[in-house]
Amino acid sequence: MPETKSGRDPGYAKYIDHTVLKPETTRETLKRFCDEAKAYGFASVCVNPANIKYVAGELAGSGVVACSVVGFPLGASLPEVKAFETERAVADGAGEIDMVINVGALKDGDFDFVEKDIAGVVRAAGGKPVKVIMETCLLTDREKVEACKRAERAGAAFVKTSTGFGSGGATVGDVRLMRAAVGPKVQVKASTGVNNRRLCDAFIAAGATRMGTSKGIKIVDGNDE
């Protein structure tokens, strides 16, 4: 991997989903994240469903996508609830959906259920890209690979590592494993722990094309101190 360079580099902006998902998030914080995303040209602002309509309004015409999580953060909602949540988010202006799989079902080996759960969200998204969050810190490598393959079969646009609410985040090894598990039409998103440019570079080298992080400004500005 090339040595990480310092200094501002706007080329990193396209990788960043500027993420604000804490339960105490206020409108003031949402406005700040939207303004930052517009100023830096980030790919999206990723928020909870209750905030998507406001964020979509703030981002209108900017080229930055409003992204909504679904079934977040546990993934244990009923499939029909995830589908409804997706439909509502899209109606409220979401241009991308980040859904959490049913981790327990995956660990039970009920792979068909996992695939149907994802497929229901993909259908409800009506063509909007769906990113499938696996919570990799809870999974074996076999489970990660199976989840990736099921997500691809269900029509997902991305497979994604983490919610940020689990016991761990993205690792370079997991990103590499996920990249190898899916075909070229499915992208990989590294999320949680992408806190500086050095790590961002490592994830890009491993095959990630999107990063879920609240540290996008730090990454673009090259401030790894």
Residues with active-site annotation? 98, 160, 189
> What is the C-alpha separation between 9 and 67, in angstroms, rounded?
24
Q: What angle do CA 222, 25, 168 make, to 5 degrees?
A: 60
* Rg (alpha carbons) of the chain, rounded to whole number: 16
Q: Which two tokens stand for residue 101?
A: 């799989």
Q: Where are the alpha helices (DSSP H) in 41-130?
A: 52-59, 79-91, 103-107, 111-125
Work out the number of other CB atoms within 10 angstroms of the CB of residue 29: 14
DSSP 62: S
DSSP assignments along 131-169, one per residue: EEE--GGGS-HHHHHHHHHHHHHHT-SEEE---SSSS--
Burial class (CB in 10 A: 0-12, 13-18, 19+), 126: exposed
